[in-house]
Amino acid sequence: MTDYKQRHGQEHAGDGSLERPSPWRAGHAWLAKAGRACADVIVPPVCLGCHTPVAAHDTLCPDCWRRIDFIRPPLCDRLGIPMPFDVGDRMISAAAAADPPDYDRARAVARYDGAMRDLVLALKFHDQHQGRRLFGRWLTDAGRDLLADADIIVPVPLSRLRLIWRRFNQSALLGQEVARLTGLPFRPLTLVRTRRTRPQPGLSRREREANVRGAFAVRANRVTDVAGSAVLLIDDVVTTGATVGACARALKSAGALRVDVLTLALVTDHALVAR
């Protein structure tokens, strides 16, 4: 197991720059520890990926760790995709230069394959929220630079119909966890879908863009949250960037100064999504 993975498997310690100090933190931590000790007796800890027994809650077994392809620097500053070499400065990939995204910067924890794909699908479709603490720690680490500049956290919204069907918005769950760890204001009602869209899987890149174009807006009574602010947009997966791009356009037309995107998973092989 690498240092990186060991570091990410531990509790988010916080470096003081993101977490707000609280006089209740020590007491709260003790209660949380006591609660976890009770929970271990009632529900033994299992791997979030494959459900085999492990030593602690909110983590993965060594096999599942190995099946996660973490995205590490050097990165394209705009798209967050890995770059082949580090020139020691802010780098822009050829893909971002040729077709600049509507958001400013994107960062993701891992590639959308292996165990990360299984974890995202379990979160999204099987109502498995047990991973949210680990996901929150991963996101705060992968998005450290974006969080340092952010004023508010906004999740990508689901349509009302899909929200009823799925019962929760996985992006809101992730955004809430990042807000809890960082103390940044969480604004889940800022963005709204203005019309129904087709599910994106199975659509080409151009079809995805047409499907979500103009499908998001900032609620009239939330424009004051957004105007003049740096917004951190949270989603579970970015495939072609069509959805987060449409959200970024809506946020910027409401006056957002910048829109950065933080996700659990990123599809880095765009050849898989036909144009």
Name the residues that contact Zn ion, by CB under 5 A: 47, 49-50, 61, 64
In DSSP terms, 152 is beta-bridged to 231
If the CB atoms of residues 64 and 247 are measured against Zn ion, the closer one turns out to be: 64
Cβ-proximal residues to 34 (8 Å cutoff; 6+ apart), any chain: none
In DSSP terms, 70 is beta-bridged to 110
Structure token digits, residue 22: 């609280």
- Residue 1 CB, nearest distance to Zn ion (Å)? 13
- Residue 181 CB, nearest distance to Zn ion (Å)? 24
Residue linked to tokens 């940044």: 184
- Residue 47 CB, nearest distance to Zn ion (Å)? 3
If the CB atoms of residues 51 and 213 are measured against Zn ion, the closer one turns out to be: 51
- Residue 54 CB, nearest distance to Zn ion (Å)? 7
Cβ-proximal residues to 139 (8 Å cutoff; 6+ apart), any chain: 109, 174, 177, 178, 234, 262, 264
- Residue 156 CB, nearest distance to Zn ion (Å)? 28
- Residue 143 CB, nearest distance to Zn ion (Å)? 25
d(CA 227, CA 256): 5
Q: Residue 19 is which amino acid?
A: E
- Residue 33 CB, nearest distance to Zn ion (Å)? 24
The phi and psi torsions of 192 (rounded to 5 degrees) equal: -140, 150
If the CB atoms of residues 49 and 136 are measured against Zn ion, the closer one turns out to be: 49
Angstrom distances, CA of residue 126 to CA of 68, 116, 122, 165, 265: 20, 15, 5, 12, 17
Structure token digits, residue 266: 């990123």
Sequential DSSP letters for 181-224:
HH-PPB-TTSEEE-S----STT--HHHHHHHHTT-EEE-GGGHH
If the CB atoms of residues 49 and 155 are measured against Zn ion, the closer one turns out to be: 49
If the CB atoms of residues 63 and 149 are measured against Zn ion, the closer one turns out to be: 63
If the CB atoms of residues 47 and 95 are measured against Zn ion, the closer one turns out to be: 47
If the CB atoms of residues 49 and 143 are measured against Zn ion, the closer one turns out to be: 49
